[in-house]
Amino acid sequence: MPGAAFGSNGFMPRASPICRRFVRRVDRSAEMVRRFVRSHRRLGDQDMRSELPEEDDFVLVDLSWNFFGHEGLSLITSFCQRQWKLQILKLHHCHIKDDCAEVLGGLLMKNPLLDELHLSHNSIAASGALYLVRAVERGRALHQSPLWLRLEHNRIEGAKDLLYDLQQQGSVCGFHPRRCNARSCGENRKIHLPYFTHQDGQSARPTSPDRSDVSDASSYERDPWWGQRIDDLPRTPRRTDAARNRSRSAAARPSYRRAEAEGGGGVRPCLSVRELLAWEEELMARQRQLDEMERRALARQEATQARSLHRR
């Protein structure tokens, strides 16, 4: 209607009470999904002291395409632990190294309600990936939806062998599209590792940053943080995965155990992956016992409820 002003809820003030109630309900549902997005900001560890707000009801936290070390991740995990609604955490393309896996593992054990964790295109090695998987297995219950954990394009040597061992010894699924989806697992596992075998062994760096974030194009070209410009990089013919695999012999494919023993991935762990697996085997056996006890308790509870309904 001409001359009608819109209210604070985006609806005309002369609307019917039913329409007003519906608009208020939609507004409340939109306010519930709060997002904290600071991607492509070129943030570092010191910036996190001023960037992180005091709110505690964010559902999504996106800090991708930045540069974080151990100190910055400690501040981020403390911030995420306060978010009682947090479901998605994005930290891809953040130059995260293998020694930061312990900080992220503490977050995974204390935030079992987290649904998605994106850590692709970083510098995490096999020992760090194994630590993250074990942290999820210890902190997540069997009846919860599986964690969607993205770890592709890191420095994980022998990812295919590692994924096979994790599926055999732990509660890990490589994600089968015909049986699984993002919120349920056909094999009743706690973790989904999609695209885990797609590793490049090189630390990720931004390849196409948004130049609108940079005030001067010449400063962008001189800035060492972004590395060499794409136009100056040598152009090599692209090969498919099949051609790359054909050109590589079976003996030239080191397993992740040998790679970690030789210090593969650029970070030499304190313990080899073989020793870590042996050390974690007892914990996993205990976890399986606890899962079995949980199944039995749920079965007894369902039987009790069925008997009470039958008596009624």
**pLDDT above 60 (res 253):** no
The verdict on residue 60 lying in a domain is yes
Q: What angle do CA 184, 188, 190 make, to 5 degrees?
A: 80
pLDDT band at 310 (very low <50, low <70, confident <90, very high): confident
Residues 6+ apart with CB under 8 A from 129: 101, 151, 154, 156, 162
Structural contact between residues 59 and 35, judged by C-beta atoms closer than 8 angstroms: yes
Q: What's the rounded mean pLDDT across residues 5-22?
A: 51
Q: Look up the CATH number of the domain holding residue 22.
A: 3.80.10.10
> What is the domain count for the chain?
1
pLDDT band at 293 (very low <50, low <70, confident <90, very high): confident
Q: What's the rounded mean pLDDT across residues 237-243?
A: 50
The C-alpha atoms of residue 77 and residue 83 are separated, in whole angstroms, by 10
Whole-number pLDDT of residue 246: 52
The C-alpha atoms of residue 286 and residue 69 are separated, in whole angstroms, by 33
Query: Between the CA atoms of 134, 135, 139 and 144, what dihedral angle is there, to the nearest 10 degrees?
Result: -70
| Residue pLDDT, tens place only, 195-230 | 999 997 544 443 333 333 333 333 333 333 333 333
The verdict on residue 275 lying in a domain is no
- Please tell me the least confidently modeled range out of 44-58, 67-81, 169-183, 288-302: 288-302
**pLDDT above 50 (res 185):** yes
- Residue recorded with tokens 């409820």: 305
The verdict on residue 277 lying in a domain is no
Q: How many residues does the chain have?
A: 312
- pTM for this one? 0.59
Range of the domain at 189: 17-204+250-270
- Please tell me the least confidently modeled range out of 9-23, 25-39, 48-62, 243-257: 243-257
The C-alpha atoms of residue 33 and residue 6 are separated, in whole angstroms, by 24
**pLDDT above 80 (res 264):** no
The verdict on residue 230 lying in a domain is no
Structural contact between residues 69 and 45, judged by C-beta atoms closer than 8 angstroms: yes
| Residue pLDDT, tens place only, 142-175 | 889 999 999 999 999 999 999 999 999 889 999 9
Q: What is the 3-state secondary structure (H, E, C) of the chain?
A: CCCCCCCCCCCCCCCCHHHHHHHHHHHHHHHHCCEEECCCCCCCCCCHHHHCCCCCCCCEEECCCCCCCHHHHHHHHHHHHCCCCCCEEECCCCCCEHHHHHHHHHHHHHCCCCCEEECCCCECCHHHHHHHHHHHHHHCCCCCCCEEEECCCCCCCCHHHHHHHHHHHCCEECCCCCCCECCECCCCCCEECCCCCCCCCCCCCCCCCCHHHCCCHHHHHHCHHHCCCHHHCCCCCCCCHHHHHHCCCCCCCCCHHHHHHCCHHHCCCCCCHHHHHHHHHHHHHHHHHHHHHHHHHHHHHHHHHHHHHHHC
The verdict on residue 198 lying in a domain is yes
The C-alpha atoms of residue 85 and residue 97 are separated, in whole angstroms, by 27
Determine how many CB atoms are found less than 10 A away from the CB of residue 76.
24
**pLDDT above 60 (res 249):** no
Q: Which of 10-19, 40-49, 217-226 has the highest mean pLDDT?
A: 40-49
The verdict on residue 221 lying in a domain is no
The C-alpha atoms of residue 210 and residue 158 are separated, in whole angstroms, by 34
**pLDDT above 90 (res 70):** yes
Structural contact between residues 125 and 155, judged by C-beta atoms closer than 8 angstroms: yes
The verdict on residue 188 lying in a domain is yes
Better-predicted residue by pLDDT, 25 or 42: 42
| Residue pLDDT, tens place only, 116-149 | 999 999 999 999 999 999 999 998 988 899 999 9
Radius of gyration of the chain from its Cα atoms, rounded to whole angstroms:
24
Q: What's the rounded mean pLDDT across residues 236-249?
A: 49
Query: Between the CA atoms of 290, 300, 145 and 183, what dihedral angle is there, to the nearest 10 degrees?
Result: 150
The verdict on residue 309 lying in a domain is no
Better-predicted residue by pLDDT, 65 or 228: 65
Whole-number pLDDT of residue 281: 74
